[in-house]
Amino acid sequence: MSYSRIWLLSALMVAASAAQAGSKEPIQPIVAAKVKSPAMVELGKKLFFDPRLSKSGFISCNSCHNLSMGGTDNLKTSIGHNWNQGPINAPTVLNSSMNLAQFWDGRAADLKAQAGGPIANPGEMASTHVIAVEVLQSIPAYVAEFKQVFGSNTVDIDKVTTAIAAFETTLVTPDSRFDKWLKGNKKALTADETAGYKLFKDSGCVACHNGPAVGGNSYQKMGAVSAYQTASGATGRLGVTGKEEDRLLFKVPTLRNIELTYPYFHDGEAATLTQAVETMGRVQLGKKFTDAENAQIVAFLKTLTGKQPSFALPILPPSNDKTPRSQPFSK
Amino acid sequence: MSYSRIWLLSALMVAASAAQAGSKEPIQPIVAAKVKSPAMVELGKKLFFDPRLSKSGFISCNSCHNLSMGGTDNLKTSIGHNWNQGPINAPTVLNSSMNLAQFWDGRAADLKAQAGGPIANPGEMASTHVIAVEVLQSIPAYVAEFKQVFGSNTVDIDKVTTAIAAFETTLVTPDSRFDKWLKGNKKALTADETAGYKLFKDSGCVACHNGPAVGGNSYQKMGAVSAYQTASGATGRLGVTGKEEDRLLFKVPTLRNIELTYPYFHDGEAATLTQAVETMGRVQLGKKFTDAENAQIVAFLKTLTGKQPSFALPILPPSNDKTPRSQPFSK
């Protein structure tokens, strides 16, 4: 069975699933996160913003998943320790709790598993879990927070990543204009935007980009209909499963807040939404959108920008004489 | 007249000045900033956090003057474009409006003059004023804010730096324990802390570290009494005035929030407050503090941590098809 057939089948299954659920639309509104432990979220927020989790003391989770900029760095591929050029585009952290797995190739099962990766990746934050924990363990105010949240004075990487994931789970973006439209406010979209949404459904985009996150819930081949040309060496799911059939299968990215999360694709090669829609039509759907159609789809996509997480910039507890020092210029 | 004599004279003048003013203490409480134009401050806050003012799209004002970390990067010297190792320690932006001038060598008269420097410094943000303005001018939401604040749709570097300076002027840190003590709450400090303050005054530290910011209001020679050994090539005021007598004269740093703004000195070579107090005693005062004295002074210094600026992380308006792209890996 070819990928385009798999895709057609998927589209039918999505439609059937939506019909079964009694829903008229293949996209559902995003629901604001329920916070289970506010104290854990606060701790996770501090850790997310703390560059001392990196070897340099300069790079935090927020450096590449910048919550001022849609939870991304808006770069083709990210900058890591010693200005290392990363191999892949940083996906947004917004609504990432809805992904079926984390990273483009899904190699981390969940946000907790993901959070430990960049800290110890030599090309990203370039620290080690041991040193990151030593740093936090040396800071009394952090230890007190870990005690409050986890009931133990002992910091470990499991607690660190649990807290970061708890914060990240709160980073959902409800109340987009499209969600208002879904909930019945038909004035929330313009005629061009609703036409774009109709095209988005009728053309088959919705086969992969569906659900509350408008994506994030399946792996699909980049270049399902015709080969995608790229200089990127990323192999996608193949690297995780070892199966040749998984070559160039990537997690379908969420389209929520897509206006904010440029540039697009795993290689960041599409600088604009217009380019991204053109390429997707061509390599995934075998379709050439007219300029007017492309513009309508782009207009629809821009209605997916939701309310961005709003919170006070965290103030981090200072290091002290016992805290291991950052090593910014050590390679 | 030797520097130590100048210093002694300064100490006497400070004491006289304090007496004239009817104040008992050479340090005054910090007063919260009065915001003249909230809209300008909001615009300046966005610009302060916007990495698109850098060539890479990765470095913002907040990268090196991190408001989660006392308005500094907590590095000996800063990381710039392409991981360039900066020549000097990044001074805190907190309370910087009280400085007699900006940068360690005072080469910028005020915060507005300072703000344009790093944007165009090839070793820091590595952009140009022209490109930075082009980026902002291309973004309708920014243009609307400039229009609201300045009454003009035309963005220019003068407006950009005016807005950044307006935001920075709000970054004062009142309500430290020491300020509470100054205002009459004698229980705000412990016996060790008040003993440390007495030592701070009696030993002569207060000759240079006085006023509301506990510094920032004079240039002094690093190594007034005995030579300061450093690998740093920074020459201080000499580079501004061209006068040999200004060699190694630096702006006296504020001691407000000093617990947060490690490491210390223009070269960042003092990793801890204990080291900083030891060195200052030796090279500025010709004095060797006992371990107990040093600890008391450090205890006093830690009472200078004020209420940190608290505000929601700004959400930045997105770039669009017309916005000049960041060049992270272009040298």
CA A195/CA A208 separation, integer angstroms: 19
Residues of A in Cβ contact (< 8 Å) with B67 = 313
Look at residue A234 and tell me if it is in a domain. Answer: yes
Look at residue A20 and tell me if it is in a domain. Answer: yes
Look at residue B140 and tell me if it is in a domain. Answer: yes
Same structural domain, B233 and B117: no
Nearest CA in chain A to B85: A329
**Domain final residue, candidates A106, A139, A169:** A169
Residues of B in Cβ contact (< 8 Å) with A321 = 271-272, 274
Give the helix ranges, DSSP H, for chain B: 3-20, 38-49, 61-64, 111-120, 129-137, 140-150, 157-169, 177-182, 191-202, 238-241, 273-285, 291-301
Same structural domain, A44 and A164: yes
Residues of A in Cβ contact (< 8 Å) with B313 = 67-68, 310-313
Domain of residue A14, residue span: 3-30+174-304
Would the CB atoms of B313 and A67 count as touching at under 8 Å? Answer: yes
Same structural domain, A94 and A212: no
CA A89/CA A104 separation, integer angstroms: 9
B32-68 as b/e: b if 16+ CB within 10 A: ebeeeeeebbbbbbbbbbbbbbbbbbbbbbbbbbbbb
Look at residue B237 and tell me if it is in a domain. Answer: yes
Same structural domain, A46 and A158: yes
Residues of B in Cβ contact (< 8 Å) with A313 = 67-68, 310-313
Residues of B in Cβ contact (< 8 Å) with A79 = 56, 58, 328
CA B278/CA A321 separation, integer angstroms: 14
* pLDDT, tens digit (0-9, with 9 covering 90-100), for A261-271: 999 999 999 99
Same structural domain, B11 and B100: no
Look at residue B324 and tell me if it is in a domain. Answer: no
Least confidently predicted of A162-171, A303-312, B31-40: B31-40
What is the average per-residue pLDDT within A78-88?
97
Nearest CA in chain A to B81: A83
Taking alpha carbons only, the member of A60, A49, A326 closest to residue B268 is A326
Would the CB atoms of B259 and A73 count as touching at under 8 Å? Answer: no
Provide the number of structural domains found in chain B. Answer: 2
pLDDT at B8 over 70: no
**Domain final residue, candidates B143, B169, B195:** B169
Return the CA Rg of chain A: 21
Nearest CA in chain B to A82: B83
Q: So what's the pLDDT on residue B16?
A: 46
Contacting B with CB below 8 Å, chain A residues are: 49-52, 56-58, 63, 66-70, 73-76, 79, 82-83, 85, 259-260, 262, 271-272, 274, 308, 310-316, 318-321, 325-326, 328-329
* pLDDT, tens digit (0-9, with 9 covering 90-100), for B43-99: 999 999 999 999 999 999 999 999 999 999 999 999 999 999 999 999 999 999 999
Would the CB atoms of A51 and B66 count as touching at under 8 Å? Answer: yes
Look at residue B326 and tell me if it is in a domain. Answer: no
Same structural domain, B190 and B265: yes
Same structural domain, A202 and A266: yes
CB B68 within 8 A of CB A315: yes
Cα four-point dihedral sign B88, B94, B100, B101:
positive
Phi, psi of B128 (to 5 degrees): -130, 160
Q: Given pLDDT bands bounded at 50, 70 and 90, which one contains residue A21?
A: very low
Taking alpha carbons only, the member of A117, A104, A89, A100 closest to residue A248 is A104
Tokens of A13: 């299954």
Tokens of B187: 């229980």
Active site (annotated) includes residue A124: yes
Same structural domain, B241 and B127: no
Same structural domain, A178 and A164: no
Name residue, tokens 């450096």.
A63
Q: How far is B83 from chain A (nearest CA, A)?
A: 6
Look at residue A298 and tell me if it is in a domain. Answer: yes
The CATH number of the domain holding residue B160 is: 1.10.760.10
Q: So what's the pLDDT on residue B33?
A: 86
Same structural domain, B95 and B152: yes
Q: What is the pTM for the complete model shown?
A: 0.93
Same structural domain, B44 and B161: yes
Strand partners, A251: A219
Look at residue A43 and tell me if it is in a domain. Answer: yes
Going by C-beta distance under 8 Å and a sequence separation of 6 or more, which residues neighbour residue A186? none
pLDDT at A212 over 80: yes
Would the CB atoms of B312 and A314 count as touching at under 8 Å? Answer: no
**Domain final residue, candidates A106, A136, A169:** A169
Measure Cα distances from A250 to A106, A234, A240, B86 in Å. Answer: 8, 9, 11, 39
Same structural domain, A190 and A292: yes
Q: Given pLDDT bands bounded at 50, 70 and 90, which one contains residue A10?
A: low
CA A165/CA A145 separation, integer angstroms: 16
Strand pairing report for A84-85 and A79-80: antiparallel
Q: Given pLDDT bands bounded at 50, 70 and 90, which one contains residue B13?
A: low
